[in-house]
Amino acid sequence: MMNLLIHPTGAYLLSLFFNLCSNYFIFMNNNLSNIKDFLEEKAFYYNRPEFIETDPIQIPHQFDNPKDIEIAAFLTSILAWGQRKTIISKARQLLKLMDNRPYDFIRQAGKNDVKLLGSFIHRTFSGTDTIYFIHAIKHIILTYGSFQYLFESNFQQTTDIKNILIQFRKTFFSLPHQARTTKHVPDISKGSTGKRLNLFLRWMVRRDNRGVDFGLWQKIPSSALYIPLDVHSGTVARKLGLLRRKSDDWKAVEELTAMLRILDPNDPVKYDFALFGLGVFEKF
């Protein structure tokens, strides 16, 4: 026990263990069965095609080719901060600059084609950032064939989503780039929630018959995913006693996801629909 406490990683894991135990007792006091039933009902309600109409996931749903879908999903998830109407508008604008053929455009784009994208701006995401992202995506396509192969092959080696996200960021910024651009891909190693990357994975990995998430990447199980924690889902989770940590960071992501796995070990991230819907639409 002493060695565990002395080692930083061991101390953190021990702290997480005690937090989970404490959350579990809170859970029980609030009646675990009732909380599960409540979240199941809300997840079922929001996880339906009508949800797409007001959500950024509508952007990748405009495409049929899986390679277009994953690029559109990645770019849209990266732009997913701020008002959803603006996110949707900006993602649509960016893809229009690629003639709504993102895979073919990026794979075949020459320097002049890429320069045209320098006019795209979304909040702090500048034209310089846009151009680098196109180069980085092209590098992934030419090196690995697709995002799917890159993520699935890494998962086969480690089965640890946290490490996969950390390694993905290193791969993405393996080309020469400006330091400012790195802020647009979450750095899990520094405690980021990784909300946008976890959202991208939810879209690509989760499999059900509800018609919202795509479930295209079948070599990564839904059980391995982490919650795309944001201010809305975090606030609702704390009110329900699912999350005690006050900061929205990776430790909070691990804590909340572990609690959701108690509710459904096979598909814990489906409750993102419930937590987000309660926060955004119902002001829970």
pLDDT in tens, 19-60: 555 445 545 555 778 899 999 999 999 999 999 999 999 999
Tell me, yes or no, whether 119 and 182 share the same domain. Answer: yes
| 43 and 68 in a common domain | no
- Does 180 fall in a domain? yes
Domain span at 136: 63-205
| Distance from C-alpha of 186 to C-alpha of 194, rounded to nearest angstrom | 5
Residue 169 within a domain: yes
- On the question of pLDDT at 78 being above 70, the answer is yes
The DSSP 8-state label assigned to residue 48 in this structure reads S
Question: Where do we find the tokens 């579990």?
Answer: 24
Assess whether 78 and 41 both reside in one domain: no
Which of 175, 205, 235 terminates a domain? The answer is: 205
- Full-prediction pTM beyond 0.75? yes
**Confidence at 269, pLDDT banded by 50, 70, 90:** very high
Q: Measure the N-to-C terminal CA separation of the chain; round to a whole number of Å.
A: 41
Whole-number Å distance between alpha carbons of 163 and 157: 11
Last residue of a domain, one of 176, 205, 234: 205
> Is 11 within 8 Å of 239 (Cβ atoms)?
no
**Average model confidence (pLDDT) across the chain:** 91
Q: Which amino acid, one-letter code, is at 207?
A: R
Distance of CA 218 to the CA centre of its chain: 17
Cα 279 from Cα 284, distance rounded (Å): 5
- Per the structure, the count of domains in the chain is 2
Percent of the chain scoring above 90 in pLDDT = 83
d(CA 189, CA 79): 21
Domain-embedded: residue 212: no
Does 58 reside within a domain? no
Domain boundary pick from 155, 180, 205? 205
